[in-house]
A and B are shown apart, each in its own frame.
Chain A
Amino acid sequence: MDDFTVDIPEGKIGILGPNGAGKSTFVKIALGLIRTTSGSVTVLGVDLDRNTIDIRRKIGYMPEHDCIPNSMTGVEFLIEMGLVTGMSLQSATQRTHEILGHLMMGEEKYRKIEEYSGGMRQKIKLAQGLIHGPDVIFLDEPTSGLDPKARQEMLETINGLTEVSGTNVLLSTHILQDVETVCDHVIIINNGKLQMQENVKKLMQRQTDVIQVRIGGSTEDFVKQLKKSGITATSGGRGLHVPYVNDKTFEQIVDSAVKSNCQLYEMERATTTMDNIYLEVVD
């Protein structure tokens, strides 16, 4: 990570970025597993350099990869994780059954984890991060490797469990829909640098109707000609984005292309989705 400064508010925050962008590194730095070579990190108001270990009492962590021991049952595993966090046996046992109840796990919680489906393993992984009632939980690619149905279930579980337990969420993912479903704030990073920080609702409001235009010839002349018609075009993706007002906008685009001696290769009405915004930012 390089020249990276970010102030993360409370709530459910998504860290979005392509593979290798630095999302997992960011989470591990915030968890104190990787030390920064320069700069400082403050988590929940505590300087990580001074208190790397004890801050983890207030943090839950769900790693990306499969990391749960197959030889234990779901109940045994969660109790062990509670004990390793410092809970008493009684408290860990009680909390384990409460969480598994919220996860709607019945008899299967007494089965060995090796018999669990991918979705159930992810849920158990989430539960271990919430076992001690942390103030914030770091979720590293929680839907990675799940089929669409299991993914939807996992997102609903994350929403349900964190809402009912009042836990802040830091969700690292490269899947946009995960952020849309869970988060109220998004941070986009790429190549270890902060690219964008925005409220998800505001970001969604930026979703507008546009006409995607691809032309041959002088783009500059075409944009100038459009401007004379009161239309501001922006570059986006493979061509230009022209805001759609009504069907007359199409005629204005054709006129501008003729007047600026440009060939019109493509003209298609499209919606700027979060995908487009993300791609723009990352590109």
Chain B
Amino acid sequence: MKRNRIFEILPLLNGPMELGQGRNFWILFCLFSLVLFGYALVGSVFSLSNLAIFFAYVPMGLGLGLLWGYGGVLSFGQAAFFGISGYVYGIVAGNLISTPGGTLLAAACGVVGTMTLAAAFGYFVFYGQVSGWIIPLLTLVLSLILETFMGQTAGYQWRVGSVLLGGYNGMTGIPSLNLGSLQFSGATVAYYLLVIGTMLIVYLGLRVLVNSRYGHAVAGVREDPERTRMLGYNVNLIQVQVFTLSAGLAGLSGVLYVSWGNYMNPSSMGLLAATLPVIWTAVGGRNSLIAVLISTVTLRYLADALAVRGGEYAFLILGALLLTTMLFFPTGIVVSLARRWHVWRKRDLRMPSSIPAETNQEREDS
């Protein structure tokens, strides 16, 4: 019985709602995963730690990919949820520092707390059935307000238990995740493996989700909310669920980030931070999870490289990249390239292969 259920998941993994099907893709994917895991054996701790932080942002990017690309809802709130989760983790972990398993509890608190807030926010927005442009505006305002709020929490009177909130200087000395004697702090192989594992699980899990019956309902809400409602789906509930899930993924990234750097500051949920997930998702291609994954890691790397040589140009370049993508590659750069490659291969082999993912991409006319 259990065997059967596992075999039921496999077609969902390879379903049509995501780019990249067939043997070649999966061989590449497995090779790539093996390389990532194998690098842990050969790489220096410094390079592993640097690489790990690029991948730690992937759940946040994928969350927005799910929400915007599959659910049709644009949100600037990912950074806010990232920050909330990091702060909640810091508060709980800092107070339970001597309790065994305290950091795991803190991580759970961070993610669940974030999801609760997102669900409450989503209730007001989605059950009001507001127009599509209201959600990005209100989530942006949420980010700005949270940044201002955390920014003014300097001083001794702003503390929860024994943890100081720290104002603009940020919260420092946050303990890393640990499991018994295993420490997942930034400069460890364990942390690298944790991040890679989390990223792959999130990616594959979302792949199953978008190809499931539920995932088709989510895409249905994006295409035509009214029609989906008439087909008997609870559109408002689905939207709140997807919004909450994407916030939870941002929260996961937040916990991973805090565990890496032992530090959280208000600007991680400010205006510029709120921009980043949107740029990753738009530039990669919001209708494909793998495209978002690739662009998240690439653009994080790019931002890092730019910060080293003249950080003042980073956001100028990112802004220009975003505008160029929106003007010339509305479906995203990675997705456009993948599609061109499909067309080229089809012509080359004269093989009638269908690209079902493409049917989901003609949208945004409503």
Genuine A/B complex: no
Which chain B residues have a beta carbon within 8 Å of chain A's beta carbons?
Answer: none
- Give A residues with C-beta under 8 Å from B: none
